[in-house]
Amino acid sequence: MQVLKILSWIWRSGADIYLDKTDGRIAIKNQNLIPKEVMEAAEQDYQKIDKWFKSWKNAGGDKVTIMKMVHHFCGWQHNEQIEKWLCAENDSLMLFNDWSVVLAKNGWKDIYEDYRQFENDESNKMAHELYVRAVNFAKKGA
């Protein structure tokens, strides 16, 4: 099963799965909210889930920001700051849309497939610009 599909089910259940910064291991908050069949799928694909989380360990701010944007837009993890920013700055919202179009042209057709394999110089430049805009918005205190 696709890692992002399992993670999205967990996040949408109201639980949280993440890489604990203290010990580098996967942790889950509110595990009791996760349906049994989802938990079983997660247990079967634990190694893939662990590998996915660890693949983000050294990601820069631009990569983490775009990941949070994707997760927010897919409805997996609500992010109030991203929502405020993109509602306030239509140009940034359109740039995010343009970024997703570039990835779609590169073959990204399934939200449950890790989009990073479809990135290129153009999409990376756009992601960096989105990060700069997000930081500037946050500095304004909006």
In contact, 42 and 76? CB cutoff 8 Å = no
**Cβ density class 15-45: b for 16+ within 10 Å, e for less:** bebebeeeeeebebeeeeebeeebbebbeeb
pLDDT confidence band for 1 (50 / 70 / 90): low
Pick from 69, 57, 55: nearest CA to 131: 69
Helix axes 61-73, 121-140, angle to 10 degrees: 90
Displacement of CA 20 from its chain's centroid (Å): 16
Q: Are residues 45 and 81 in the same domain?
A: no
Q: How many CB atoms lie within 10 A of CB 12?
A: 15
3-state DSSP call for residue 69?
A: helix
Query: Mind listing the pLDDT tens digit for each residue in 93-132?
Result: 999 999 999 999 999 999 999 999 999 999 999 999 999 9
Domain that holds residue 39: 3-54
Q: Are residues 65 and 132 in the same domain?
A: yes
Query: Mind listing the pLDDT tens digit for each residue in 47-98?
Result: 999 999 999 999 999 999 999 999 999 999 999 999 999 999 999 999 999 9
Total domains, the chain: 2
Q: Are residues 80 and 43 in the same domain?
A: no
